[in-house]
Structure 1
């Protein structure tokens, strides 16, 4: 499966070792600038995440990043432009993020098939062992059984569709990424869009019982709707 087809079917593509180590280290050093103004991530505009913060990159740095990564994102989003670059930092002890998508999906099913129908994003991992849970893009709810673990190491680039449902995994150590919006002319977004939250359904909580003719057995031995075989 080539990269463009992967983006259309799975909703994301990873470019491994897309940037050299010296550049990753330079970006990581920029994230430690004392002048960065960090704010806590919030979900639904209400719930504050005490372990995750973000800070916007300076305008001059953002312009350089947009020019440098243009060849990466325009390979998949030909008419796109990148804006609003920001550092994302997760502290040690961070839990799994709530599942969300960066932008609401379009209601036109024909247009939705076009990856440029919705704005996207570009995320560059600045440290090893950064994990993202992906759930697909053509969904209304996220099913735990369908989640896919995306592993990013230093210098890897993640390019998802804007309506791709995902969450950053919890972290036992400090993790830093840099992310920018990938705007497309077919989708109008607000200046500072809030992510659209996606319900996560745990469809893996039931365990099949081999001695059951009907129903399931919950973990812990509590039987529900189960008739023992004879």
Structure 2
């Protein structure tokens, strides 16, 4: 009987909280509607013009990004091209890959999807074996590695799959979350709630210590893990 009472009390509290939340949302909507109702024709026209200008500006920005190679995941041929690419875009994700590393193919699939979704960021790949100077300069030892470049400077790295749940079966949403943590894409989800496929990875993956990640020493290729 005590257990039934506790469940009933919990249900009542939950229902009350839901009703309170619904009431707050309804009040906010009513306030917005009232505000619109009180506007005269000139104010409504001004609001309309502002929204049209915002949409036009957003469309112009999108076209500018597309003209710089955003919106698709593509390979660049050389180290020289890397510097040109990161110079022309604010946010760049560069995948350093190797043909013989099968995990690079896993990343390719996810990055292709994210490049189409996040046009605000440029997604490129570069063969690590053809860019020894750059790999040494960026201290890239593990393949695959994603270099996350903001305003022409490498701010963060996704090294192997450690930050993605330590599994080959991570989802595109997990990688999207990780890039969101680095502020290299416009992430709309909750950064404190990583979308891992299950809870088996434990609480150690719920928060990201960027300094710790950059401070790690990696001595082997991810193929050998």
TM-score between both structures, scaled by the size of structure 2: 0.23
Higher Rg: 2
- The structure where strand makes up a greater share of residues is 1
Q: Relative contact order (C-alpha < 8 Å, sep 6+): which is higher? A: 1
TM-score between both structures, scaled by the size of structure 1: 0.23
